[in-house]
Amino acid sequence: MTTRTATHPGPFAAAAPAARPIPLADIAPWAVFAFVVALILLYFVSTEQGAFALFDGMYVHEYVHDGRHLLGFPCH
């Protein structure tokens, strides 16, 4: 019979790996990409077919209509 002590925790115990910080240079491109995508989505929900429109017709407006009201943007 084996006993487990503080110096011998058992055959399957492993030390937890140390957490390493993620370098800012690795995060920056993804943060810029997410920011650009968020701005594009904000444009389509808030402005498209409202005061300013890049596309003809009401297709974009109808597609984001419920999201526009959910976020509190008036559209009509």
**Residue 7, in any domain of the structure:** no
Letter for the amino acid at 6? A
**Residue 17, in any domain of the structure:** no
Q: Say if residues 64 and 45 touch (Cβ distance below 8 Å).
A: yes
Specify the pLDDT at position 15: 74
The helix, strand and coil proportions of the chain, stated in percent and rounded to the nearest 5, come to 45, 5, 50
Domain span at 61: 25-70
**Residue 10, in any domain of the structure:** no
Total domains present in the chain: 1
Q: Say if residues 60 and 47 touch (Cβ distance below 8 Å).
A: no
Residue 71 makes CB contacts below 8 A (sequence gap 6+) with 45, 46
Q: Model's pTM, two decimal places?
A: 0.58
**Residue 4, in any domain of the structure:** no
**Residue 18, in any domain of the structure:** no
**Residue 9, in any domain of the structure:** no
**Residue 12, in any domain of the structure:** no
pLDDT tens digits for range 12-49: 667 778 888 888 899 999 999 999 999 988 887 777 66
Specify the pLDDT at position 34: 97
